[in-house]
Amino acid sequence: MEVVPKTEAGPTTAWPRRPARLGHAVVAALAGQVVSGDLAEGAALPPEPVLCETFGVSRSVIRESLKVLEEKGLVVVRQGHGTSVQGRDNWHLLDPLVLQAAIDGDATLAIFDDLIELRSALESQLARRAANRITDGQIGELKGHLQHLDDLMNEPQRYGREELAYHDAISLFSGNQLARSVLRSVQAFGMSSQYYAGTHRTRDDNLISHQGHVAIYEQLRCRDPEGAARAVEEHILGSWKRYKDRLAGGGLGGH
């Protein structure tokens, strides 16, 4: 019987990806502790051997995880001095993992206040720009979006999801692809939160929101840049204020 000699694995060998998954878990856990304040600014992270034992992973996984956290601005690694937590000013808050950790650990809605203000500022500017360049065909597309939303008036949660297509169309018509990309990344976190879901709970919520959408459409149809920007701001900030007022009054069932 011929014995086939063992050979070293070539570059195409499909190695298990277990360390990468473990590393993601370590990064997520430590990021959550930093963003929540459990690990305060300037605090030193436990040494590598302790982290290895805590998470049950190898030293290489810990080192790679700390490198990722440093890239996200959450920690700083100094050779011979260990790893310490960075101040909030250094965090990359538009990084998906960091922003998600900030949202998950925020019981005051402060990060959401910032998120809504950012969305309002960006969308207002994009609407202003869209009003200066929108075509008749694009106005027709927006009207189609409005008609679709009108059909969903009795489906609050679906209306809340589908309205983003209307807002995204305005962003697209502005021609500013960079701002649109930032806006879409921010929107993804808003949509995944219980807070955003709370803004569309009843048909009345949809009716109020729809009035805002119609107001934006009319300003764009008239090609009024300032009117379009103002309508977007009133719509977004007004919706958020109504939600917070309802939350303060206990009208969201504990959410």
Residues 189, 193, 198, 200: is their CA dihedral positive or negative? positive
Domain ranges of the chain: 18-90, 109-248
Structural fold of domain 109-248: Four Helix Bundle (Hemerythrin (Met), subunit A) (1.20.120)
Mean pLDDT of the 101-105 span? 82
Count of alpha carbons within 13 angstroms of residue 9, beta-carbon side? 6
CA–CA gap between residue 197 and residue 161 (Å, rounded)? 9
Reply yes or no on whether the pLDDT at 91 is more than 70. Answer: yes
Q: Domain 18-90 falls in which CATH fold?
A: Arc Repressor Mutant, subunit A (1.10.10)
**Cα 20 to chain centroid, rounded:** 23
Q: CB burial class (10 A; 0-12, 13-18, 19+) of residue 134?
A: buried
HEC profile of the chain: CCCCCCCCCCCCCCCCCHHHHHHHHHHHHHHHHHHHCCCCCCCECCCHHHHHHHHCCCHHHHHHHHHHHHHCCCEEEECCCEEEECCHHHCCCCCHHHHHHHHHCCCCCHHHHHHHHHHHHHHHHHHHHHHHHCCHHHHHHHHHHHHHHHHCCCCHHHHHHHHHHHHHHHHHHHCCHHHHHHHHHHHHHHHCCHHHHCCCCCHHHHHHHHHHHHHHHHHHHCCCHHHHHHHHHHHHHHHHHHHHHHHHCCCCCCC
**Of 91-95, 102-106, 137-141, 248-252, where does mean pLDDT reach its minimum?**
248-252
* Residue type (1 letter), 37: G
Summarize pLDDT for 25-36 with one digit per residue, the tens. Answer: 999 999 999 998
pLDDT above 90 (res 248): no
Query: What average pLDDT does range 160-172 have in this prediction?
Result: 91
pLDDT at 64: 95
| Predicted confidence (pLDDT) per residue in 116-157, tens digit | 899 999 999 999 999 999 999 999 999 999 999 999 999 887
